[in-house]
Structure 1
Amino acid sequence: MAEERVKDSLSEKHSSVSLKSDQSKDGHPPDLREKTPSSVKSVRSGSCVSSSVSLKSDRSMGHPPPDLREKTPSSARRHLVADLVSSSDNLQWIFQNLESKMIRFLKNQLENFRKILQHKNRQEFIKEFNENRSRITEAALDLTLFFLREMKQDQAADTLQDELFFINQLKCSLKKKYQSVFEGIAQQGDSTLLNNIYTDLYITQGASEQVNTEHEIRQIEAASRRHQSLEIQVECKHLFEAAEQDQQIRTVLTKGVAGIGKSVSVQKFVLDWAEGKENQDISFIFPLPFREMNLKEKERQSLKDLITQFFPETKGLNLTRSTRFKVLFILDGLDECRLPLNFAGNETCRDVSSAVSLDVLLTNLIKGNLLPSALIWITSRPAAASKIPADCIDRLTEIRGFNDAQKEEYFRKRLTDQNQAREIIDHIKQSKSLFIMCHIPVFCWISATVLQNILKLKHRAHAETLQESPKTLTQMYTHFLRFQIQQSRRKYDGENTADVSWDPNLILSLGKLAFQQLERNNVIFYESDLKDCGIDVYKASVYSGMCTQIFKEETGIILGTMYCFLHLSIQEFIAALYQHLILDNDKTQAEKSRDESMTDFLKTAVDKALESENGHLDLFLRFLLGLSLQSNRQLLRGLLTQQDDRDQSKEEIIAYIKQKLEGNLSPERSINLLYCLNELNDQTLLKEIQSHLSSGSLSSAHLSPAQWSALVFVLLTSKEELEEFELQKFQRSDECLIRLSAVIKTSKRALLQSCNLTVQSCESLSSALQSSNCVLRELDLSNNDLQDSGVKKLSDGLKSQHCKLETLRLAMCNLTVQCCESLSSALQSSNCVLRKLDLSNNDLQDGLKSQHCKLETLRSELGQLID
């Protein structure tokens, strides 16, 4: 490639150069080491100047050249000879100076090329070359590649070509693609530079290997209760750096719920590389989104062809020679993959030029059969992460979004007015549901968009605070939808009024799409999905333009056009709104029965949500209930019917939810129902519990099941991390421990001594120890009648891969030698991390005498200490 370009350019240059040496006649470039061109030598010896050289003296400029055959006076002849000699001397000086400059330039370029090949400050010289890149520097590179190949130094030529052609072109392309994000109000399609608003995300090493099918809002709420001090944090830019020198990390799987920042993390990683800031030991990065590759399932292609399709600027790159470089493939969005990914049954493929199915190609790339030296980074939502076999993953990480400090940092970066930023942060902190949701970067942006706009309106109205601003999720999303429609009307129709001009057909069409795809658990839609909802492609483009920050249209390189909502929570909100629109449009209901219809509708929704074990309808239910309130419907006037302030549906549904809370519900279900009460502006249960907490009467108070649920909710959503849980502050009973087990497993230390506990508590504690989000490090169960059967239950928990317990105290628990077998088995388990065990004042005899485990301290009979 480079050789042909060099030959063509040299051939053109030689035909136009006026000084032709014998060397140049055969098509080879001139030897620049020769001090004097042969044509200049001929001038010195008195020979004629080549007719192709334009030698214009002052007399000849603008006039025809003199006819040397014509007889001229001797004086004229002498002047002519003098002019020719003078011109030749001047030309000789020019070319000597030119030769010196060219040689000096080429020497400098060659020195840089040599240092690049020597890997000596390679990135510095590559950066310098690219910053000063011009036609002349590229010509120098062409010449260097040409002569290296003439000298049979192909490896050196390949390295230079990869570094300065392919890598540079790829970096330029990726920088252009990834440097901006469409964040904020895109009034004119404006974008924001990623580096201006990017806030680091909280990423931890390790995560549950079990498939988590819970609704992602449940996972966010669970993550918000974890102790960051007990977790290993990983910086995104250091994903492939191993803690131990002899450890190699080839494949990283990063999990995270929708909108938590996976794709933005990929974007920042790639941009930092393309800008020469981070990971410069990586030569090539190829981001390959699954959503783009889905429809290639039935086509046969090679890895080389796939890369060329996505990155045309790398056409001609020899992947096999690039094995001496670090190559990173980023497979983004595993949850959007529609391929089977048959790791066990697919054929083996080791040739990057062999045409195979996409499924075979990707499984072999991940397993390491194709380009075994290549690095692989896979991102996925939690439910889909199990598609990749555990033995193919060297490092498992989880993106938790923003921790509390990063939430505040985001708002300070996002808002230029720091007083405004501080007011918005203070407002969000007042609402537990809003503050927890701010773990999701997209929700931070939604909140900033809504609250900033409200502050502007209040400023115009001479109001000062956000006191009446959104405090629930439904209120926030309702304001967001209203604001986005207002913005689109101003942009497209020139409207500039406080009221919103709704298009019910638009919302109905989008709502139908949102609801139907939510039932199918889809977040990416294609043209066929839109047609099923009566939306044609043209309308989709219009909707995308009018609802820029709600519904978006994306064009892929391979896949064509795709559609999605900005975030799953927006899809759920639009789906809930659609259900209310359908209820409003049901003309068969008489006005007097509207309240009954609404109540039955909401009760049915509560029942369906409780039937869903994984909580897939949790957030949808919150929005559905919130949109039943007149205060929220008022913001949607012109779209939803306005109800009588005296309607009874609100009170009836509140009573129905409280009735459900009296049942035997899991902590997750109870917590969601309490969030539902919050959406309905009912906080009576929470106020009752807070009153008990303030008076310190919980140790003697008799709580109903609903109040127990409220107590768990209050403790779990506390701003302070639970370092220590002491059961005696509540009630000394198995029931209390079981009710509060969700709180206990989020504490570092659980002090449960002398609390009248039995084997029932051990069963609950064992279950907690086996939970992936249990952070217990120290457990004191001394002076409880646990007996051998209770310890056997605990031993099952100690053997769990998720158990992090390091200290266990079982003094005076009425134990005998019969419990030693189960304890011994647990202590010898590879998963057991227990270091200190107190079994004093139990009749164990020599039951643990021969156990082999990792214990550092064992307290046995009569308090005897064995180290």
Structure 2
Amino acid sequence: MDTQRDMEETQDSPGAAGAEEPMCSAWTSTARERVSEARRELINRIGEASLKAVLDGLQQEISGSPAVIGMWERNEVLQQHHVTQDQVRCLVDMLRNKGNSACQRFLSHLGEVDPALCEDLYDPNLSFSCHFAGPGSTVNSASTTPKQKADQQPVVLKLKEWIVSQYKTVQEYNDLPGQDVLLTDRYTQLLIIEKHRKLEEREKEMRTSGAGFFGARQKEYKSITVDQLFKPNDRGDVSKAVILQGNSGHGKSFTAQKIILDWASGSLYQDRFELVLHLSCKEFNLLYKEGEQSSVLDLVNVDEKYIPLVQKKLKESPQKVLLLIDGFDELQFNIKELRKSPVKDLSTPSPVDAIVGALLKGSILSECHLLVTTRPTASDKLNKLLKRPVRCTEILGFSEEGVHDYFKMFCKDEKFKEEALGSVKENETLYTSCFIPVICWIVCTVFREHMQKHIEVANALETTTSIFVHFVKILLEHHCRGLKQPVPLLRSLGQLAERGIQKQQVLFDKASVEGTVSDLTSVPFLCKFLLKETVEKKEMFSFMHLSFQEFFAALHYTSYEDQENVKKMLELVEQQEDRTHLLPVIQFLFGLSKVKVMQDLKDIGLTSNLSLEAKEWIVKRIENNSEKDAKMLFTLHCLYELHEDKFVRTAMAVWDKVKFDSIPLTRADCWVLLYCLQCCPTIPSLTLSECNITPDKLRMLQPALRKCQKLGLAVDNLSDADVRDLVSAMGEGKTLSDLSVLNSSLSDESVQQILTAVSKQKSVGNVLLTVKTITLVTAECLLNFMKSTPAEEFVIVGLPGGSNGDGSLCSCLIVKRLEEHLMLGVANYGDTTSPESEPSGLALGVILPETTYTLLLEEFTCRFQQLRHLVENSPEYDKHVDGLMAYPSSVPDLKWVGLEAACLTEAWAIRIISLINTPHLERVEFNADITDERMEEETGLLLEEGIHLLQEAQIPPGRSIKLTGLRCRKSKDRCRRWRDRKLSCNRYVEIEIPAVKKKEVLKKWKKKWKKKCCVLL
């Protein structure tokens, strides 16, 4: 229990004095609780001699308290000859963590070396004063009586209450007068590191994006918290000054405000600082301009009635005061090294610059602790001014967890938060940029405004360019000290960025930056860092991330009156495939040509005349690259950034079809696609094949899908609850060239719903569904559909594992139309989980007239179901396979049989010979192949005895057999085992018996359906 906070809470309540004594008059029975209650007094009063004596005693009692001795031996802090209060604090805290026995041993030795201290600790009055002396108080009991301490406390509490009232709220960038939000509703833990990053680390981080960006940060950097800023370092020293540096918009001032608020609220630095004071460099500038002299007390941001208390604390216990100086880089004056009239005391008026210099150097209030926030561009100058020892830390913005926490805090509605964050994560450029708190705020604000207008989250996100322009405007307005002409700065930054992009350079030395940007101290968009080179240090610069460099490079092109350089750059990208690093710049170029963005640019003095060149280039690109998926997707992103509906409609009209095949589309890609398609009155043809279209993306694209005249669609991970969205997206009366429902576990009811919707289309191509279990009902759905709908091909694949185990007839059903015939395929996938085991599984395909296959399908599926319960190559298995192979011979007008099994054995050769003698049968094709439940395909062996038996057989005229698989080339001791199939002696062969080439129906069939099935699971 924090007794300090307990007493603060009782101060203003009636009868508080009566409640004080019971809290402090007695100690609890355990030694750890004794140490906890007396913690402040121990820290204040244990001297060097007594501490050393206690530690010596602990060292002599190794057998009695090994935990404490191990702690002592490991902790270098406590082995220093000079004992400080921070070292005592460290020891006491470790003892409390070690438990009751360690604390008891400590108290025992303390009683031997300092009996008076232990007696005082049992004194209720002194214990009472201990609780009221303030966190980590150093007031000596001999000079300050308990009554004096208690009399001071109400004033401290009132000061804290005043600080809470002043600092608990913040105004956001778009707030009107009187509007504010609670700081606790906005502040999110920031990534603060205590290391100087290497050149390679910075460059690698700048070039990564999305989850990779945040993942690298989490791996490389260990974040510290603000309560660790004043802990002892490796040498046992506690820093007198801490630099908290960070780039513009990264949260330095928010962090400073949160520190003083948390202290006043009782949750931070309670045992370390009795007073935390805030000093603003912006206010220093105002005083300096007026030319008035001020005192140290004048600069402190507290109500006038608390000045006496502040003065008393600064005089009597300065080592317990933290001065928080916010915004050193914003100072508009130079701090003089020497002055004829140095600052003498707290109340004597002096020049402002002299006071600030004296505080930083420690020539006044040398025992006070300092925490100074600054941009990295001024950190080197600050480091030279500060008193020692100094700790340097850097705010890197949000970690990935921090971004998530900020969205959660900003978007109170959980569902909305998940949708908004999910949408942002799919846009890698935007998601990476959210490590900057101000970008995160802009994005969340955009989403919230759209939510309040009841606009779908999927349509809420502005273009990436518009977010970046908002960012520039905010930094120029709120983070550029006294910058009256932003246009020259932005153009010089653009020039630097463009030069770096052309050279694929993300880090710049000081000389190259100074040759372009004049005043580096006022630039909020560049990061500065120091690099050690042998015996020297070198200043280096970079943009906040590569995406910001790409944006400024695009901004550079808007400043050209003559757009020839833009045309050259666009032509260069079109002519050379290796210029992909310029594509993000071009995308930003289109975004800067958006009408609303152009207006925002005018607000800061910039103009954009790129619209005509950009439009001409994109139309030409569409005409020349209409069939290339990757180029098509980039083109759509450019059109989306332009966001000009009429032009997009004209540009899209050039394409008679939009097709994406095997290119995973992110949510951001789907927004782009939806926008561009909705600009079109009709959509002639759209194909999305193997593009990772999940249910949420399907719902997003529904408006566009319904408008398509011809549609090919593959959807992943569809549940029964999502089937309604699929049916709605298909609509009616269109040409459905392809429908694949992949990685899904549909029930028979869902299959029926989909087939009903498919049957309402004008024409149907291929249909592929994955189901929980293939039952007789599933097979009947397939039959009825093929009778009523002229689909080209219908495939049903059952999911592997438990749901597709005992209850499933087979692993796969396929029906394909071949003129007046149908091809029927049934497959049972094998188990090849063990590399040593022989694989199992069987696939059988037949071609027969459409009028015959109904009874055959039911019979085949039932016979295949029996195989699923038998062990491969067992007598029972062979018996059922023999019966299955004998059945087709009784089917009239059978034209073709295709088989797949692991190996061509003698038994399989006998079955093939029996089949080839079936009346009307023209061809048997055997493929030594097996597909396991993971849909992984492996080619098997054609064993020599099987080949020989077939070659010696009497094949009726006009009939043929084809064998495909691996054949061992050795003359003797040929490979027979499945695991030997990858040896170099095996080669892939195709054998015709007799040697007459026939139409390879099985190969075509197998290639087509396996291409689809291999991505199912």
Q: Shorter chain as normaliser: what TM range?
A: 0.3 to 0.5
Higher strand share: 2
Query: Which structure has the greater CA radius of gyration?
Result: 2
TM-score, normalised by the number of residues in structure 2: 0.35
